[in-house]
């Protein structure tokens, strides 16, 4: 049994604490809050099981740059609400790898089609 501040902590308490930290870590800092919700929709979304990938388009002076985010979806025990976390377990890694490859291919194909003049 784990201990926190010298007191025993059950596995369920430790897991709930880890999930709370994960939820807090997935919230954007105040300065990154989008200006308008419609402006901040991903340009591409893919999902395998409970792992999800979003590609975001960011306009810059040198053209569009893409950013990729990954999330693990989960539903806490006894809750009907789906939440997301940015930490992944061993069994999530193959799905994460496949989604990263899909995101890379999508970005590459999108940028390649922008470069071809015909």
Is residue 40 very low, low, confident or very high in pLDDT (cuts 50, 70, 90)?
confident
The model carries a pTM of: 0.63
Assess whether pLDDT exceeds 60 at residue 80. yes
Query: 112, 97 in Cβ contact below 8 A?
Result: no
Sign of CA dihedral 28, 32, 34, 40: negative
pLDDT score of 33: 47
d(CA 60, CA 117): 21
How many CB atoms lie under 10 A from the CB of residue 88?
A: 15
Assess whether pLDDT exceeds 60 at residue 3. no
DSSP class of residue 112? H
Assess whether pLDDT exceeds 90 at residue 17. no
Q: Domain boundaries in the chain?
A: 37-115
């Amino acid at each position: 049994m784990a201990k926190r501040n010298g007191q025993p902590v059950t596995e369920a308490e430790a897991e709930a604490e880890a999930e709370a930290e994960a939820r807090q870590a997935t919230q954007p800092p105040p300065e990154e809050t989008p200006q308008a919700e419609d402006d901040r929709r991903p340009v591409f979304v893919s999902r395998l099981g409970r792992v999800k990938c979003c590609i975001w388009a960011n306009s810059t002076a040198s053209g569009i740059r893409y950013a990729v985010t990954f999330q693990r979806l989960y539903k806490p025990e006894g809750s009907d609400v789906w939440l997301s976390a940015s930490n992944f377990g061993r069994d999530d890694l193959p799905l994460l790898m496949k989604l990263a490859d899909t995101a890379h291919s999508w970005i590459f194909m999108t940028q390649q089609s922008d470069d071809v003049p015909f």
